[in-house]
Amino acid sequence: MSNTLTDIGTLIDSHPGIHGGCPLIAGTGVTVRRIAIWYKQGLRAEEIAARIGHLTIAQVYAALTYYHINREEIDADIAAQEAEADRIEALHKASRQS
């Protein structure tokens, strides 16, 4: 058994040049937003870890912990992303109808 302890604060990171500075699972390109979206769709942490095979269950739980602590911020980010996707889709439909 390993006696190495991990500081949970090292599991979530952000960099201005990666995904616009959104919180990420450290050492990956996986955003907390992506984990939160799947969680909100009803996936369990184990299912999320299985979908992204290079993540450990601890990394997924760290992302979910970050999400629950910062729910308003992450939910606002998700809503903004969805609104932008809707806007782009509407522009695309309008240009096809012209």
- 10 Å CB burial of residue 92 (0-12, 13-18, 19+) is exposed
CATH number, residue 68: 1.10.10.10
Q: What is the distance between the alpha carbons of residues 67 and 33, in angstroms, rounded to a whole number?
A: 8
Number of domains in the chain: 1
57-80 pLDDT, tens digit each: 999 999 999 999 999 999 999 999
Q: Which residues pair with 24 in a beta bridge?
A: 13, 31
Structural domain containing residue 61: 12-97
Mean pLDDT, the chain, integer: 92
Q: What angle do CA 67, 81, 54 make, to 5 degrees?
A: 55
53 in any annotated domain: yes
Radius of gyration of the chain (CA): 16
State whether residue 44 is helix, strand or coil. Answer: coil
Q: pTM to 2 decimals?
A: 0.84
